[in-house]
Structure 1
Amino acid sequence: MFSDQPAAIATAIDTLLAGDFQDRWQVAKQFSEIGVAALPALLELMQDEALDWEVRWFVTRILGNFESSTAIEALIQLLLHSDDDDLRQMAAAALAQIGVAAVTALAPLLQYPVQRPLVVQALARIPHRAVIPLLMQVVRDEQASVRATAMAALGHFSQPDLLPVLMMALDDREATVRAEAVRGLGRWSATQMQPAHIARLAQGLTDVDDNVAQLTANTLGRLGTPPAITALITALQGPPPPVHRQVALVRSLMRCLTEGGLSCLMERWTTLALPAQAEIISGLNHLEDRALQEQAAMTLCHYLRVGIVPAPLWPHLILTLGYLRHPDALPLLQQLLQDDDPRVRMHASEALRQLNSQGSSSAPEAP
């Protein structure tokens, strides 16, 4: 607290009026220390439309530090009546910064279609359950941006009555809304999601929008329940999807890998694009289950022997065999020490070192 408030306020106001952007940025921090005594001067500046735009923008931003009915009302009026989009956006941001104290004042503004997107943005940035009833009012709004913002915010509240709302949004005509619904469902715990919910969510794997499809795969992988794993496996067993969707499916399945999931990945190896195959190899380097390590190592050794591993993946796959530490890899790696390609010999030698360091039987070093 400043000992001489009037002087401190006057100095800070002078800096706002005459300083450059950096000066204004620094002095804006002082108003929190000065306190509500600065409000009359700040409100006078904000309401002066003849002032430089940047000054009014900073004042609007500063008002977000005051949980005061006077500041809230001034920001509401600016949001309602200003013709400047940037000032209205800053007013909404300032109201969001004030938080739950601003919710009651924001509620009536939902009736105005022009202001509604900014009002919903402000409400969405207030992490308090008081905003839930208001956001629920706009989940069927005609503006897709409003629906998407509401879904993004509601997805952060894991309470049972919101699950049907998020599930409903999976059928929205706009991909941005569907994407936010999928993101929201991804924050729910596996115990909250029933098989019927996962079955409906899994339909997003074939969504016309690539982002929705990939987000769906990520969410199913995070859930990791048997129905979610089954959905990912089923998607891979059908006709090969586009490459980026293949990668998302593989990455998600690797996150919750089971014997059935690994079998699917190995069986579909030749139908997958190179980036998806590379994702499998990358994921196997983080595999900790010994039974799955053995299953993967034997299959990869077979693929190397029969020649169905693309050349760009050889170095990575060879090193992965060292990580997986399976005895079947020893003779193959020893054979690769004689390969004509020096890079193959180098990676085989490194894989053997790694395999030996993990306690496998001895293997010869590269010459």
Structure 2
Amino acid sequence: MLETLDAIASAVTQADWILVNQQLQQLLDKKDATQADDNELEQAVAIAMQVMRVGDFQTRWDVAKIFPKIGEKSIVPLLEILEDELADFEIRWFALRILGEFNQPEIIMSLVKLLEQTQEEDLAMMSAQILAKIGKPAITALIELVKPDKSRLLAVKALAQIRHSEVIEPLLLVVNDSIPEVRFTAIEALSSFHQKSLIPVFIKALKDPEAKVRKEAIIALKMRAYLKQEFDLVNHLQPLLYDMNSEVCQQAILALGCMKDDVAMMALFKILNFHNTALFLKQEAIRALNWSGSLLALDYLKKGLESSDITVSEEIIAVLGRPESAELNSYATSILINFLHSQREITHKSQIKLAIATSLGELGDLRALPYLEKLALDDDSRVKLYAKAAIKSVNSEQ
């Protein structure tokens, strides 16, 4: 084999990469690489790597087929290229593609690091695909890496990329881990599995000391609104409306909106009226009530119009123009007409009149025409314009 390697090395000096590639291929076809000594394999790897660095795309494509035949001696130099952020993208892409043929723990960990750190979308996508392709062998290797503290986080992140039911058990082992990032990653990964047995895990995570774990648990439960009665999800979620973290509050609002439940709607109305609720959360609560798509939800939105906050009223008027079902159009129209007819001080604000004109136009109810005609005579030119556009919209729908 050494004589052949010398001949290949000679071809290397002449930069005849096609010949180098052909001879390497023939050499490894004739002789099982596992029978060669370490020195011979290292030389073969070095030559193949040189071809990778200077060859064109087709040459690299051809030589890529040789590395799996060389075996595990290829792994370290390929990992060095893959982890070198300054290396040529195409070479890193080929290194990643070749490494996908091996099922070694160090490769799996490297793929996870790449997913975490790379700015190259194509590399990240391929890393995830390779992890999924490795599948069961990857899971077996990663379970062992979950045990040591120094490798646990990366191992859990790698398991999270493999959406296979066999990762559930090892992920359940770390949902109470001392490292918040480990708990978060485990909950996020488990949320993609729809076994009922996982619901208590998500419910428990609602009380996790780390905000992003609580948030992820809410998202998991939001996707399981169909189990709201069996697991009393609304009552478990309600306390999170008043969480210290605003992102947790926001997700709790969204989740309760998905429940389409009378108790959930009452809770959303309470957070809408709570004086300490941030404005953006009030706006989320308004939209969530609208998603509930019921007369009760519209009743709460009607009561919400009693707010003195003009931005809150404007948001409510806007969502009333977009009810979740056609059956609610008539009631939404009545609410807006009555609000405009109330002559409350807020109804004289131009931005409120603009919002009402827009929503009445979207609803398309003929009962709105007299009110829109009056708005078309308003002193504010923008209100006039919006009202006239709404009149056209209503008439066009008849």
Note the 1:177-192 alignment, pairs <5 A: 177-191=213-227
**CA distance in 2 between partners of 1:128 and 1:116 (Å):** 19
Shift of 1:115: 1.2
Note the 1:37-116 alignment, pairs <5 A: 37=69, 39-40=71-72, 42-46=74-78, 54=86, 61-66=96-101, 68-69=102-103, 72-75=104-107, 95=131, 98-116=134-152
Q: What is the one-letter code of the residue matched to 1:133?
A: E
**CA distance in 1 between partners of 2:70 and 2:286 (Å):** 57
Q: Structure 1 residues 5, 131: CA separation in 2 closer, same or farther (over 3 Å shift)?
A: farther
Aligned to 1:280, which of 292, 309, 316?
A: 316
Q: Which residue of 2 aligns with 1:13?
A: 49
Q: Please give the TM-score of this superposition, normalised by the length of structure 1.
A: 0.80
Shift of 1:260: 1.3
Q: Which residue of 2 aligns with 1:349?
A: 388
Q: Structure 1 residues 105, 295: CA separation in 2 closer, same or farther (over 3 Å shift)?
A: same
Shift of 1:28: 7.8
Q: What is the one-letter code of the residue matched to 1:245?
A: L
For the pair 1:212 / 2:212, whether they are aligned, the reply is: no
Q: What is the one-letter code of the residue matched to 1:6?
A: L
- Cα deviation per residue 1:220-259 (whole Å; 9 max; x = unaligned)? 2223233433332333344461101101111111111211
Shift of 1:30: 6.8
Q: Which residue of 2 aligns with 1:316?
A: 355
- Cα deviation per residue 1:269-297 (whole Å; 9 max; x = unaligned)? 24274444343333233326455222222
Q: The residue matched to 1:339 in structure 2 has which SS?
A: coil
Note the 1:163-202 alignment, pairs <5 A: 163-191=199-227, 193-194=229-230, 196-202=232-238
Q: Please give the TM-score of this superposition, normalised by the length of structure 2.
A: 0.74
Shift of 1:356: 1.1
Q: Which residue of 2 aligns with 1:255?
A: 291
Unaligned runs of 5+ in 2: 1-17, 27-43, 119-123
Q: Structure 1 residues 347, 33: CA separation in 2 closer, same or farther (over 3 Å shift)?
A: farther
**CA distance in 2 between partners of 1:209 and 1:101 (Å):** 39
Q: Structure 1 residues 324, 46: CA separation in 2 closer, same or farther (over 3 Å shift)?
A: closer
Q: Structure 1 residues 348, 287: CA separation in 2 closer, same or farther (over 3 Å shift)?
A: same
For the pair 1:132 / 2:168, whether they are aligned, the reply is: yes
Shift of 1:54: 4.9
Q: Which residue of 1 aligns with 2:15?
A: none
**CA distance in 2 between partners of 1:327 and 1:47 (Å):** 70
- Cα deviation per residue 1:75-107 (whole Å; 9 max; x = unaligned)? 268799x9xx969xx9x9664663333000111
Q: Structure 1 residues 313, 41: CA separation in 2 closer, same or farther (over 3 Å shift)?
A: farther
Q: Structure 1 residues 79, 323: CA separation in 2 closer, same or farther (over 3 Å shift)?
A: closer
Larger Rg: 2
Q: Which residue of 1 aligns with 2:195?
A: 159
Q: The residue matched to 1:156 in structure 2 has which SS?
A: coil
- Cα deviation per residue 1:37-80 (whole Å; 9 max; x = unaligned)? 3655632514779x9675696676335522x44xx244268799
Q: Which residue of 1 aligns with 2:372?
A: 333
Q: What is the one-letter code of the residue matched to 1:350?
A: A
Q: Which moved more, 1:128-137 or 1:265-274?
A: 265-274
Shift of 1:196: 2.1
Aligned to 2:257, which of 218, 221, 225?
A: 221
**CA distance in 2 between partners of 1:240 and 1:47 (Å):** 53
- Cα deviation per residue 1:320-350 (whole Å; 9 max; x = unaligned)? 1122233432221112222222222221111
Shift of 1:302: 2.8
Q: What is the one-letter code of the residue matched to 1:62?
A: R
* Coordinate RMSD, CA, aligned: 3.8
- Cα deviation per residue 1:150-184 (whole Å; 9 max; x = unaligned)? 01011111101110000000000110110111111
Percentage identity across paired residues of the two chains: 28
**CA distance in 1 between partners of 2:61 and 2:50 (Å):** 14
Q: Which residue of 1 aligns with 2:13?
A: none
Shift of 1:33: 6.4
Shift of 1:193: 4.8
Q: Is the 8 A contact 1:337 1:344 kept in 2?
A: yes
How many residue pairs were aligned? Answer: 346
**CA distance in 1 between partners of 2:60 and 2:303 (Å):** 62
For the pair 1:242 / 2:284, whether they are aligned, the reply is: no
